[in-house]
Amino acid sequence: MFQHTLFCFALISVFTQPFVVAHGSHNHKAHRRYFQDWAHPQDHSVNKLFKRGGDGAQYPDVGSAEWLSKYPPANGQTPDKGLTPKEWIDALNAADGAGKIPKVDLTTIPKDKDGNPMAPAYPNNQDPTGPGICSSTYQCRGAGDIWDGPDGVFGVSFDDGPLTPTSTLVDFLKQNNEIATHFMIGGNIRNNPQQFLEVFNYGGDCAVHTWSHPYMTSLSNEDVVAELGWTMQIIHDSTGGKVPKMWRPPTGDSDIRVRAIAKEVFGLTTVIWNQDSQDWRISQGGQTLDGVNADMDKWLTGSKSPGLIILEHELTNITVQGFMGNYPKIKSNGWNTKSVAQLFGDAYQNTKGDQVTSANVYLPQNGDTSTNTTTSTSSSVSSTTTASRT
C-alpha cells in the first residue's frame, strides 16, 4: 500500500498539462506544472469545497469571537447535520452516485462490564477483515492507507491536540529542529486556539483527527462528512487557507466506506500506525511510562524495515514525556526523523513548500478552453457562510 501511495505522488509530481488563460477573444497557453501543488486532479471535490488563500478570502483572527462563531460547538458531539454546508453533501452525493462510496453496515460499539467501549462490531457477524469491510480496527489495510514509514525512518506524529501539553511538546520539537504531524481534534482547536497557533507557527503539520473523536465506522455517511469537513474547515480558515492532506481515524477505526468518503469527498489520505505506544492508557492504569519506554526500546533497536509510525499523543505531560524521553534513543539508534505527513510530500493538498497556491491556477476540465479557471474554482467555495447556524 505504501508503494502504491508513493507511486501516486510520484506520478502526480511529474504530470504536467498546458495552462490556459482566456484573454478576451484569444487564448494564451503556457506549459506549467500544477499537479505537484494538489495531490488530486483538479476536478476533485475538495478543490471546490474550501476557498483558498490568495484569492481574496478573509479569515477571522484565530480565537476571536468571529472565528468562534463560524464553527459547531466543541461539546464532544458530531456537529449537527443542520450546520453542514450544502456543498459537502452535494460532493458526497456525487461521489455516491458515481459508485465511489461502498455500502457497509454501520458498527455498534459494545461496552465491557465497566461500561468502557470495546471494538466496533458489524451486524450479523460479518467478517470485518473481508474485502467488503476491511476494517482497520481489525488490522485490514485498505488500498492507499498509510501504516508504515519508509525504511530507516521514524515518522513523527501526535494525536488528540491541541491541548495544554502541546506547548511543552512544541518547545521540545523546536529545540530539536523536528517537525511533527499533529492529528488534531477540531473541537480541541476551537477550545485551544493558542496551542493551535503554537503548532502552526513552529511549522508543525495540521492534520485531521475528526471534530469529536467518535468511532467513525458507527457514523452515517453524512456524519462522517460533518466530522471530517468541520475539522478541515477550522484548520483551513486558521492557516490562511491550507487544506490538510491526511487524517487519522480515532482509535484507528475506519473501513472501506469511511476511507472512501475521506478520499472522494475531501481528498484525505488515511493514516494509521504500525506500533501503538498505548500512552493514552497511562492515565487509565492500563500502561505506564516505564511500559512505554520498554516498548520504545524494543522498536527502536529492532528492524528498520519498515520504518516506524508509532501512535503517540499530546494528551498529557506524561504522554508527551513518552516521546521526549525516548528521543535521544531514536537518534542514537540511527533513525532518520521526519513528520509523518512530510514522508509523503507536502502536508497540505494545496501547498508547495510554504506557499499556499492561489485559486486561479486550477485548470478547467477536459481541455475546455472556454471556461476560465477563476470561475471554475470560486463558484461554490463559500462553504461556511452557507451553513445555517441557528
Ligand X SMILES: *[C@@H]1O[C@H](CO)[C@@H](O)[C@H](O)[C@H]1NC(C)=O
- Tell me which residues are annotated as active site: 159, 313
Stretch in the footprint of ligand X (CB under 6 A) among 135-143, 335-343, 349-357, 364-372? 364-372
Return the one option of Zn ion, ligand X, none that residue 168 interacts with (CB less than 5 to 8 A, by type): ligand X
* Exposed/middle/buried for residue 64 (C-beta within 10 Å: 0-12, 13-18, 19+): exposed
Return the one option of Zn ion, ligand X, none that residue 27 interacts with (CB less than 5 to 8 A, by type): none
Query: Which residue is listed with cell 477573444?
Result: 25
Helix (H, G, I), strand (E, B) or coil at 89: helix
Joined together, the cell numbers standing for residue 356 give 499556499
295 scored as a contact of Zn ion (CB under 5 A): no
Shortest Å, Cβ 375 to ligand X: 4
Stretch in the footprint of Zn ion (CB under 5 A) among 2-10, 152-160, 335-343, 345-353? 152-160
375 scored as a contact of ligand X (CB under 6 A): yes
Among 36, 293, 336, 374, the residue binding ligand X under the rule CB under 6 A is 374
22 scored as a contact of ligand X (CB under 6 A): yes
Contacts of 23 (CB under 8 A, 6+ apart): none
Shortest Å, Cβ 287 to Zn ion: 15
358 scored as a contact of ligand X (CB under 6 A): no
Considering only residues 231 through 250, tell me which ones interact with Zn ion, judged by CB under 5 A. 250
Q: Choose between 83 and 318: whose C-beta lies nearer to ligand X.
A: 318
Considering only residues 247 through 266, tell me which ones interact with Zn ion, judged by CB under 5 A. 250
Q: In sequence order, what are the beta bridge partners of 270? A: 247
Helix (H, G, I), strand (E, B) or coil at 158: strand
Report H helices in the chain: 2-14, 46-49, 65-69, 86-97, 165-175, 186-191, 193-202, 221-238, 256-266, 289-300, 317-324, 327-332, 373-378
Number of residues that bind ligand X (CB under 6 A): 8
372 scored as a contact of ligand X (CB under 6 A): yes
- Given a contact cutoff of 8 angstroms between Cβ atoms, the answer to whether 344 and 155 are in contact is no
Among 13, 168, 191, 336, the residue binding ligand X under the rule CB under 6 A is 168
Shortest Å, Cβ 249 to Zn ion: 9
Q: In sequence order, what are the beta bridge partners of 18? A: 31
159 scored as a contact of Zn ion (CB under 5 A): yes
Return the one option of ligand X, Zn ion, none that residue 375 interacts with (CB less than 5 to 8 A, by type): ligand X
Given its phi and psi angles, is residue 54 left (phi above 0), alpha (psi -120 to 50 degrees) or beta?
left
Contacts of 365 (CB under 8 A, 6+ apart): 42, 43, 376
Among 87, 160, 205, 237, the residue binding Zn ion under the rule CB under 5 A is 160
Residues that bind ligand X (CB under 6 A): 22, 168, 317, 370-372, 374-375
